[in-house]
Amino acid sequence: MWYNFGMIYEHERIDDLQIKGLQLIQNPSLFCFGMDAVLLASYAKIKKGVKVVDLGTGNGIIPVLLCGKYQPKQVVGIELQVKSASLANRNVTLNNLEKQISIIEGDVRDIKSFLKPQSAQIVICNPPYKKAKSGMINEQAEKAIAKHELNGALEDFIKAASYILNDNGQVHMINRPERLVDTVMLMRQYQIEPKKITFVLPYHDQKPNLFLITGRKHGKPFLSVEKNLVIREKNGEYTKELLEMYK
């Protein structure tokens, strides 16, 4: 059953993103966006007028946030899963962003079939964190594909990013600390030089559970380790830095 004049299905909801009136349709049976998407969109700090490609866009949260925070010329979201790609397209329509955002239903492993080489200045990537045979795999196929490398490994995403980026273009990624060595090695393998890294900590006295990294296509070797980003204060409230990102 359709609701809200054809924009959402039964069991879906519309969330207020609290930025420039933007909203997002979410389906709990698929993979709803989490804090990592907000962190990545804020971390990227893209310049006005650039072309951006978001690999594994899901429901389109990152393209929508980028348009709210910055003024990109165009954002292309690539999504393998049919239901998620359809949802992303509805989110573009919901926010009247058809002139800025386009969604392509496709596989990053087949990137050459729908995007030209060196066609963007920025690539955003929130890849599946877990290897295919590690940990418990979700029984729901959509969530399993989003979390595990069942249809595209980390190497596939980095290889696709290298193909898309022009010289000196940047890729911004988020992942788990246990994938840091893999990420750095694969970036260099595909001519992307790691330039900046930020570790994300749940609390000040805890180990990082995420990292944000920026790489530059054909960049010169030099890695800057930025100040840690802490999510919560001791009392459980969000830190000032995180609240600034959410603004």
pLDDT of 31 higher than 90: no
- Of 23-27, 77-81, 154-158, 192-196, the one with minimum mean pLDDT is 23-27
Note the pLDDT tens digit of each residue in 222-247: 999 999 999 999 999 999 999 888 76
Confidence of residue 8 (pLDDT cuts 50, 70, 90): confident
Q: Are 147 and 196 in contact (CB under 8 A)?
A: no
Q: Are 101 and 64 in contact (CB under 8 A)?
A: yes
- Mean pLDDT to the nearest integer, 29-36: 81
Sign of the alpha-carbon dihedral angle for 127, 129, 130, 136 = negative
pLDDT of 120 higher than 70: yes
pLDDT of 4 higher than 70: no
Most confident among 4-8, 147-151, 237-241 (mean pLDDT): 237-241
Under CATH, which number does the domain 32-246 receive?
A: 3.40.50.150
pLDDT at 33: 82
pLDDT of 45 higher than 80: yes
- Where are the chain's structural domains? 32-246
pTM: 0.88
209 vs 5, higher pLDDT: 209
CA 4 to chain centre: 28
3-class DSSP assignment, residue 232: strand
- Of 18-22, 37-41, 155-159, 204-208, the one with minimum mean pLDDT is 18-22
pLDDT at 144: 42
Confidence of residue 190 (pLDDT cuts 50, 70, 90): very high
Question: Using N-to-C axis directions, what is the helix angle for 154-164 and 180-189, rounded to 10°?
Answer: 40
pLDDT at 136: 52
Confidence of residue 216 (pLDDT cuts 50, 70, 90): very high
Q: Are 202 and 231 in contact (CB under 8 A)?
A: yes
3-class DSSP assignment, residue 97: coil
Alpha-carbon distance of 45 to 118, in angstroms, equals: 20
∠ Cα 122 128 132 (to 5°): 140
